[in-house]
């Protein structure tokens, strides 16, 4: 999502990521009105076997109207997948994700669409991208999803209360997005604190940053500690950390060289931050 719309720069960034061992590329038809999928497609040309391609569906552009409308219908999903495949220039999608969803959606119809695409070989697996507990529970109960993309970080621990345990019990993976909390946990991200984050105010964020810097103690950067935290639960399969430059990419990639956090370190981080919880979509 963060690589921009210029093809040479985007392809260069993705190639560097692939050369460094990154193998999951997450995009969506929504990102830059499909341009992001096109750039991913150009970048993986000749390297398809090295990449897990994940994209998303559900946001529909209607000609003559501004913006997007939400459409999780079977007919739209079956047509949208063809456009994503065309833009990505591939024969199948590894992971096709519903890009949102509400409890009022025609969930069974949506599941039917994904199951049909699996049978046709156009997708290998499907999942959802959601922070709504009521929606997640329904898909866990009624579908064969393999993953839930969910916002999860030191500053957003809402998933710990019920989502992570539910997915662990059912053998479903989390793809954690936002591990550095919109830059609030990035190195030199102090200015971000002025806007707050979820229910955290500026002073709290600055204090948490100081405590995390002390905990990192020069062994890793704050953003690497944050990425490692988002990977610490057994249900988490991958962390999606955006990068718009080679420097940011290298910072993210180097988090893989930091050893997994010990139970003691995880507990210290949880004492530093707050166990916030979902209040909506019950």
**How does pLDDT run across 208-239, given as a tens digit for each residue?**
999 999 999 999 999 999 999 999 999 999 99
Q: Is 197 a catalytic residue?
A: no
Kindly give, in sequence order, each residue whose CB lies less than 8 Å from that of residue 81, ignoring residues fewer than 6 positions away.
Answer: 57, 93, 96, 117, 122, 123
Which of the 8 DSSP states describes residue 155? S
Q: Which of 31, 96, 126, 229 is catalytic?
A: 31
pLDDT score, position 117: 98
pLDDT the model gives residue 187? 86
pLDDT at 260: 95
Domains annotated for the chain, with CATH where assigned, are: 7-180+231-260 (3.20.20.100)
Residues of the chain with pLDDT under 50: none
Residues 111 and 21: their CA atoms lie apart, in Å, by 32
Q: What pLDDT does 2 receive?
A: 87
Model pLDDT for residues 134-158, shown as the tens digit of each residue? 999 999 999 999 999 999 999 999 9
Supply the pLDDT for residue 238.
Answer: 96
């Amino acid at each position: 999502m963060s690589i921009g719309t210029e093809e040479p720069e985007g392809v260069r960034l993705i190639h560097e990521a692939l050369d460094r061992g990154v193998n999951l590329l997450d995009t969506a038809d929504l990102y830059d009105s499909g341009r992001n999928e096109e750039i991913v497609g150009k970048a993986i040309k000749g390297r398809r076997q090295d990449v897990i391609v994940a994209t998303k569906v559900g946001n529909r552009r209607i000609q003559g109207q501004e913006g997007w409308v939400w459409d999780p219908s079977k007919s739209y999903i079956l047509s949208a997948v063809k456009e994503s495949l065309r833009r990505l220039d591939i024969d199948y999608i590894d992971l096709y994700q519903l890009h949102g969803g509400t409890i009022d959606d025609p969930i069974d119809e949506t599941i039917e669409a994904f199951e049909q695409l699996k049978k046709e070989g156009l997708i290998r697996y499907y999942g959802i991208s959601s922070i709504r507990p009521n929606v997640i529970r329904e898909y866990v109960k009624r579908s064969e999803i393999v993953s839930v993309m969910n916002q999860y970080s030191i500053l957003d621990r809402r998933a710990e209360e019920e989502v992570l345990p539910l997915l662990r019990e059912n053998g479903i993976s989390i793809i954690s997005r936002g591990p550095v909390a919109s830059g609030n946990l990035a190195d030199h991200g102090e200015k971000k604190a002025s806007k707050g984050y979820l229910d955290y105010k500026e002073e709290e964020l600055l204090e948490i940053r100081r405590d995390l810097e002390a905990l990192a103690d020069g062994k890793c950067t704050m953003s690497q500690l944050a990425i490692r935290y988002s990977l610490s639960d057994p249900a988490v399969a991958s962390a999606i950390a955006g990068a718009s430059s080679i420097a940011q990419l290298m910072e993210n990639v180097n988090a893989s060289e930091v050893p997994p956090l010990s139970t003691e370190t995880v507990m210290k981080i949880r004492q530093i931050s707050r166990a916030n919880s979902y209040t909506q979509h019950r």
